[in-house]
Structure 1
């Protein structure tokens, strides 16, 4: 019976009962509880039922053996993948501390089922094909789970067809989007673009037609002064005032119409130079591919993307890196920014990993994450095949999701980064409040120029009166006839 129970435990046959008939013709049913107060993950035969001649004494036939795990330690295989899993070594207690969204989920499961978590840190080299560990072992996460060296595995573990076939996966607890990230330097404005950016093309066309119209009027009626229209538009002064009132009205109209435009244009230009804004970025990764960009991603991500029709026709534009970490892909994208020989590239990584890694490395302002997702991937807790924790984990995830606990844990792990993103977007948005200081400066400068102009006109008028008064104080000189 002990050999039978050990075989059931090794193969995760939880409802494994042995029925025995004694010499007294009693029928006794034996089974095992893998977690009790006295032992953990052991198969010790215990009697769970007996036939009294009419019926079985205890109900049900298969009792719940995982409701209470009595604090037994269960191994959790994971690695550092913020914000899903944070791993930090506490030197004071000499213990590995774990936090993050998926760690919070496992802690809730541990509280509900009363077991303790033993963290097994897994660090991989950049060799996806063999999953070789840093310590030299060839057993990667999948091999450890398949060989029952761990009870659970979390840490941005995505569902794939091969993984689902080889391991047990309960319900999906999070759907992570794959996003495209591109360097903003590819869309930096040049000198000419900055000069033309403050106004839309419709405004520039209206100004161009107005300028042509004014020049045409002066060419038809006053050819010698046609260049003065352009001087007024640029803020220059007139050499002399026209004599005709019609021309003066046209000058005044052009001056008063161009002053507000110059104020707005110069204010926006100063603001753009200060903020170093960039051009519009495509909304999807297909548009990036149309612009001759190349995509960087992990080999595992590339295997997932191969099933997409948009990728199948442009497979030569994708490059799968020999790494399991999206952080390495983002670091390679930053390296390509300084290496012009690699051309224009963008990265396809997890949205949460991208935001946290760029924020922690102070590079969030240098990149833009496209709004349209590339794909949606499912995250799950992975266990050995036919693990008897499958039903309990599914039940727990359903309860947590129905009661809002999963959403609360996601907010606690992700909202800090979302608030910072919204703050950055508000800082990039141009409104009149941000331009008010430049508006006041320009208005003060134009007011000062108007005061100086008024003083000059007044002095000119006074100087004219003085000259006229001096000419009236002297008698007129009569012209003498010339003598032979």
Structure 2
């Protein structure tokens, strides 16, 4: 009868096996083993009790106890053991199950005690099956009852190790799976080394992977990651996430093997029927261990993969093509005044036209005509109401042309003689000068700044201007809960592509259609840089949401916990921000300006 305490942070976490003989296991991770030489049921129960109280009670309110014995004799021994053990575990809740009871996946499997009589019973019990879809780390205390020789026991231990390794390593690198047993403590009524002082029964592992190879699924996706394959076998990665994974590999001492998703699928897609493509499929099928390359942290991906802690943040934004907002020549000429002001100006000119015409043909025999027109002696009968004609003594049938000439600032050669006419002429000149000055200044301001209409500021403006949204399928999955998108109030064009720059290319090709791209801000900056088009796009001030960038592992990966600790260290040291600033280009697209040139209206010129 023996107990093995081996620790494996694997697809089912840490495992401790208590054994009758203390051995050592050199491996990718140290496996801790404890033995009781004079094994009795009382001693075994006391040893298990001490470990449970020392390590389980401190971190949990309950633990799972699973029993599966192939022989009747071992089952009787297990019953005797439990009868002596359970009365001493009143400080923690114990959930008991057997192979014949309903075994279910639950978060309560973080702390486990498993009683078996041989390795075949462990395989039938298959504890990894019930935790493989979770991301938490488990602790296992495995207790094996048998009466076989020591040699047989060692063979059993190797089989136990192989079971846990099989559920830990994602690809077949057998050289990194060699194990040997290391003595941590002994129990013979008392512990040789005090449990409070001895190294933790569940010590931290994965401190050194001994240059084992981890497969990285990646692709060329600057500015996050640049991948340069070489026909001679020398491959190189660069940019932000390339520097990150190289530093982690150096800290944990593992080598890198790069795997590129086939058919340029990159991150891949998750379809409604459960099938996957790209890097997601490579991780799910254990072809790759890690994948990175601007991988967004999303709920859909986290359901089938295990994400690391996010280490970078960008924003999801709306962007439009500025050429769609360009003014026409007529709009530029009419920009300085709004519609009401232009209407009033036109109305005044029409009134002047009809008034002059009426006076010329209806009051030519009366003194009122001379009073209003002034004592002008000319063959034209009526040259000007407020000013002389542009050319003196020129006959013209259109008196309105003369009025309009003074309004637009033409020079005059002779002023009216009558005082009242001169007064009207003066006010008409001041009125024309005020409007011309305002018009010219605002037109100059427009030409100096930009030639684009005021762009939309939010999705409501996009909806009002009848814009359509263009985005990738992966982007749609992350924004589909937005109110206007979820309710179908705005049209959406979904592209089933893996090219992150495809929405911007689509906007350029369909420039005559009001379209808005939905994409991370960093990719828009990259597009502007590649095509060298300064201020081609306008980014709406409204931010959809901030998105987290991370790397992914296969579900319930043994690497996650150690990677998270290193990422936290690098973030606290500022190295991740430093690499990001080096890799990300300065944004070249137009940002929202607080000062916007607005047309003048009547309230601005009123006295």
- Partner Cα separation in structure 2 for residue 89 and residue 145 of structure 1: 21
Q: 1:292 and 2:469 equivalent?
A: no
Equivalent residue for 1:283, pick from 445, 457, 460: 457
Q: 1:222 and 2:222 equivalent?
A: no
The Cα shift of 1:67 comes to: 2.5
Q: 1:313 and 2:487 equivalent?
A: yes
Structure 1 segment 259-408 matched on structure 2, within 5 A: 262=436, 265-266=439-440, 269=443, 272=446, 277-314=451-488, 317-337=491-511, 343-408=513-578
TM-score by length of 2: 0.57
CA gap of 1:40–1:277, structure 2 versus 1, over 3 A, is farther
Structure 1 segment 137-286 matched on structure 2, within 5 A: 140-199=278-337, 222=372, 224=382, 225-226=384-385, 227=400, 228-244=402-418, 247-248=421-422, 251=425, 255=429, 262=436, 265-266=439-440, 269=443, 272=446, 277-286=451-460
Asked whether the equivalents of residues 262 and 278 of structure 2 are also in contact (C-alpha less than 8 Å), the reply is: no
Deviations 1:63-89 (A, max 9, x none): 322223455443322112222222335
The Cα shift of 1:6 comes to: 12
Deviations 1:140-177 (A, max 9, x none): 21121123222221112122323212111122223332
Q: 1:122 and 2:261 equivalent?
A: yes
- Partner Cα separation in structure 2 for residue 254 and residue 48 of structure 1: 107
CA gap of 1:201–1:33, structure 2 versus 1, over 3 A, is farther
- Partner Cα separation in structure 1 for residue 225 and residue 476 of structure 2: 23
Range that drifts further, 52-61 or 298-307: 52-61
- Determine the structure 1 residue equivalent to 2:28: 34
The Cα shift of 1:278 comes to: 0.5
More helix by share: 1
Highest RCO, 1 vs 2 (Cα 8 Å, sep ≥ 6): 1
Q: What is the count of residue pairs matched by the alignment?
A: 405
Asked whether the equivalents of residues 18 and 30 of structure 1 are also in contact (C-alpha less than 8 Å), the reply is: no
CA gap of 1:95–1:233, structure 2 versus 1, over 3 A, is farther
Equivalent residue for 2:252, pick from 113, 128, 133: 113
- Partner Cα separation in structure 1 for residue 229 and residue 438 of structure 2: 55
Deviations 1:315-359 (A, max 9, x none): 77112111122212221222212xx5xx43222111111221133
- Partner Cα separation in structure 1 for residue 265 and residue 279 of structure 2: 14
- Determine the structure 2 residue equivalent to 1:55: 191
Instruction: Give the match's secondary structure for 1:279.
Output: coil
CA gap of 1:272–1:123, structure 2 versus 1, over 3 A, is farther
Deviations 1:350-384 (A, max 9, x none): 11112211331134433212121223333221011
Deviations 1:31-53 (A, max 9, x none): 553169xx963242231424164
- Partner Cα separation in structure 1 for residue 312 and residue 342 of structure 2: 49
Instruction: Give the match's secondary structure for 2:19.
Output: strand
- Partner Cα separation in structure 2 for residue 354 and residue 408 of structure 1: 21
Structure 1 segment 423-442 matched on structure 2, within 5 A: none
For structure 2, the residue ranges without an aligned partner over 5 or more in a row are 31-173, 360-367, 374-381, 386-399, 598-607
CA gap of 1:149–1:123, structure 2 versus 1, over 3 A, is closer
Asked whether the equivalents of residues 265 and 277 of structure 2 are also in contact (C-alpha less than 8 Å), the reply is: no
The Cα shift of 1:125 comes to: 4.1
Asked whether the equivalents of residues 469 and 493 of structure 2 are also in contact (C-alpha less than 8 Å), the reply is: yes
TM-score by length of 1: 0.69
- Partner Cα separation in structure 2 for residue 49 and residue 126 of structure 1: 48
